[in-house]
Chain A
């Protein structure tokens, strides 16, 4: 079974530039999560999708971050404009069911450095 795919693996941008990350979840997984993990901290949920719909985006900085999940499969997370404090690893995860985090599988993440 293929895992969660993310790209790119690494990205370096200047502050105020824009950047986009892509995630392809495990086939058949209805729930997709985007997490932000700052160095030395645990993952923090940014947004959770159930199929095409948003379940939770309460911690997403909506003035600069946006995310979409077209056709309930792939997802993109965008930052525009980026700030220095956005430097982090952005993790995508997917799970089979909405309320069962046990089956959540993570991708390898995208390491973003904002200079």
Chain B
């Protein structure tokens, strides 16, 4: 069964203090690894899809990277508006494979 483990559970940063969130996964063949952002009271919002080890994607202050066992979401010089829960999910390859989510990292950026 596919498994996704995210760490840390919660992270508190000062504005401008860069850091990384980790997503470790176990899947039999990877079709895709997804990062989502979820604000309180809202549904998850899509950020990135990564398909193969070595791939990187960037969006504003966020950069996602992928290895064969884990993915990192790097946050450079975060701002208070980056505060949210960041969810990682994986989808295995081969026929139909459901998407499995991790429990998320709750990020708080303090001014």
Stretch at the interface among A11-19, A41-49, A68-76, A78-86: A41-49
Neighbouring A residues of B17 by C-beta, 8 Å = none
| A interface bracket (residues with beta carbon within 8 Å of B) | 20 to 34
Chain A minimum-CB-distance residue to B106: A40
CB within 8 Å of B: which of A11-70?
A: 40-45, 48, 55-56, 58
Within 8 Å of chain A (Cβ to Cβ): is B53? no
* The residue from A44, A99, A102 contacting B34, defined by CB atoms under 8 A apart: A102
Within 8 Å of chain A (Cβ to Cβ): is B101? yes
Neighbouring B residues of A106 by C-beta, 8 Å = 43-45
Within 8 Å of chain A (Cβ to Cβ): is B79? no
* The residue from B31, B34, B43, B87 contacting A4, defined by CB atoms under 8 A apart: B43
Within 8 Å of chain B (Cβ to Cβ): is A88? no
* The residue from B32, B91, B96, B101 contacting A43, defined by CB atoms under 8 A apart: B101
Within 8 Å of chain A (Cβ to Cβ): is B103? yes
Cα of A101 to Cα of B97 in the assembled complex, Å: 10
Cα of A109 to Cα of B39 in the assembled complex, Å: 12
* The residue from A40, A104, A105 contacting B103, defined by CB atoms under 8 A apart: A40
Neighbouring A residues of B34 by C-beta, 8 Å = 101-102
Is the beta-carbon distance between B101 and A102 smaller than 8 angstroms? Answer: no
Is the beta-carbon distance between B101 and A42 smaller than 8 angstroms? Answer: yes
Contact status of A56 and B99, CB under 8 A, knowing A106-B43, A108-B43, A109-B42: no
A113 to chain B, nearest CB (A): 14
Neighbouring B residues of A99 by C-beta, 8 Å = 31, 96
Using CB atoms and an 8 Å cutoff, list the residues of chain B in contact with chain A.
4, 31-32, 34, 41-46, 49, 87, 89, 91, 96, 98-99, 101-104
23 A-B pairs within 8 Å (CB atoms) are namely: A42-B4, A42-B89, A42-B101, A44-B101, A48-B98, A56-B96, A91-B44, A93-B43, A98-B96, A99-B31, A99-B96, A101-B32, A102-B46, A104-B99, A106-B43, A106-B44, A106-B45, A107-B43, A108-B41, A108-B42, A108-B43, A109-B41, A109-B42
Using CB atoms and an 8 Å cutoff, list the residues of chain A in contact with chain B.
4, 40-45, 48, 55-56, 58, 91, 93, 98-99, 101-102, 104-109, 111
